[in-house]
Amino acid sequence: MILDHIEHIHRHADLHPLFREAFAVLAKGGHWTPGRHDVGTNGLFLFASQGATEGGSRMEAHRSHLDIHFTLDGADHFGWKPLVHCGPPDAPFDVEKDVWTFADAPVAVHTLLPGQLAIVWPEDVHAPLYAPGTFRKLVIKVPIDPS
């Protein structure tokens, strides 16, 4: 997992062939209406969301996409645990939604404030919105294999 601020995303641009395109979307700001938006080539899309959370979200991981979680307003208390330290998934992998869920608790919770982001790879089991609070955020879904 990478934690950073939008001012420094250029440092990570070469880590994936679609990161420059994804980071350009983030640089445009938070004008998105809630929901899913196709934002680029090769399967790049985002979810915009806002509201209040009671916390306690499930730990999850993905196989075919990595996530870029970007906080616009409020705070995202973001749980994390390495996949290799998790117990077995609590349900079969959902291919359509590209998600596994886990009953594990996070080993760390990071608070993402406005302008901050978390990049999570398939080996990063994570629980966004893990603690109560209000938020407005974007999640860009980046295909692992953009071909």
| 47-81 confidence digits (pLDDT tens) | 999 999 998 899 999 999 999 999 999 999 999 99
**Could you tell me if 134 and 51 are in contact, meaning their C-beta atoms sit under 8 angstroms apart?**
yes
Four-point Cα dihedral 11, 106, 67, 145, nearest 10: 100
| 83-134 confidence digits (pLDDT tens) | 999 999 999 999 999 999 999 999 999 999 999 999 999 999 999 999 999 9
Q: What's the domain range around 101?
A: 2-143
- Residue 146: predicted pLDDT: 80
CATH code, 36: 2.60.120.370
With b for 16 or more beta-carbon neighbours within 10 A and e for fewer, the 84-104 pattern comes to eebeebeeeeeeeebbbbbeb
For the chain, what is the domain count?
A: 1
Q: Tell me the C-alpha distance between 141 and 35, whole Å.
A: 13
When mean pLDDT is compared over 26-35, 39-48, 90-99, the highest value belongs to: 90-99
